[in-house]
Amino acid sequence: MALIFCSMQVKNRPFLLSPAAKDYIWGGTRLREEYNKHIDVTPLAETWECSTHPDGPSRVASGVFAGEKLVDVLRAHPEFIGTHPKTDGEGGLPVLIKFIDAARDLSVQVHPSDEYARTHEHGQLGKTEMWYVLEAAPGASLVYGFRQDLTRAMLAASLEDDTVEQYLQKVEIHRGDVFLIESGTVHAIGAGAMIVEIQESSNLTYRMYDYHRLGKDGRPRELHIAKALDVVDLRRKPLPEQQQREREEHDGYSVELLEQCKYFRTERLRLETMQSGGQSGQVGSVTAAQEAPVDAQDTHVDNTSADMTQDASSRWTKRGSAVESVAFSTGPASFEVLLCVDGSGTLSGEDVEISFRKGDCIFVPADSIGLEIRGTSELLKVTYAGAGGPRKGMLPGVSPERDVIDKK
């Protein structure tokens, strides 16, 4: 299919994305059963929701670019990425967003830094990532760093004689937990975890230990011990603490910062607008949304969007005293990605309407048209951390209610 070069009337419109799928041996079936991933892959371990990485590129699923690889669209329209993100000029995004369904333990692994990857991996990016725990079975845990300081020789010997688990720090996880996994940190997701991973756009993983599992070919899976020993942080890692987070309350939605590092910024949005007729949207309406399949390419004209004042960053605004919709747009600094992790709703603007439900991912180009969101849903909003501007969710002169809330 030939790439469509857009004219002014289709520029800066949001669109749904279709993920690439991964069938790693530790995956399960929940992404298909609970997150509407109608992908004929078993096990379905990961879906790369927003990815321009060649190992798993996502595609556009709605609008005039439907069917095209996201990287091809962004190569043709770099203005969609924005003015601040550092890119390679070839349509690559600096971040990658994925769902992970860990039915079994993942391997014990580590990722290199940008500096190491540039030197030893042909100029690739390293990998710092964050995890947002969507679901956790009772007793589910993850590996996060070492319990004590080690030497390279101690770690190498423990990998050789299968005693490395005595040094691994295991942390019990719960729904709503957030972890920042910096490059060099030994880690592993444990069985029973459903996670959103937001990371640098990299697929460099050095597997250190894999419980002697066999791959699909019947052979032990490859380990990368030499490189892992080069990059791993051998110091004891303090236990991660789940911080209380500040929630900003606005008409129709709330917003809270989950994590920010130099690579990305992630916020959780909880949307609850009024249905027509004045009835509040019901929590749990995701069930009805799942029963009514969404046509990812359905669009129609809607010229009812409220006027909004543009500034250098994206912002959420109140539409007067009404709560039938929440107005949203991005500034020229950076694209944003909306990932629906629960519920359903619509995102509409001048000549576009996108219905979304649990599991859907929407790419909103930089300097977008004015948009409105309706529905009852929980969304993760991801943007490039270096985009600058006021804190997301804030407007000049607006003083939202603030509650210190529990992480869950």
Which residues are the active-site residues?
Answer: 207
Amino acid residing at 15:
F
* CB-CB contact of 205 with 124 (8 Å): no
Question: Helix, strand or coil for residue 394?
Answer: coil
CA atoms 93, 265, 20, 297: torsion sign: negative
Amino acid residing at 134:
L
Q: Which DSSP string corresponds to 138-206?
A: TT-EEEEEESS---HHHHHHHHHTT-GGGGEEEEE--TT-EEEE-TT--EEEPTTEEEEEEEES----E
The Cα 346–Cα 170 span in angstroms is 40
DSSP H or E run through 70: helix 70-76
* CB-CB contact of 37 with 31 (8 Å): yes
Q: Which stretches of 197-301 are DSSP H helices?
A: 225-231, 286-291
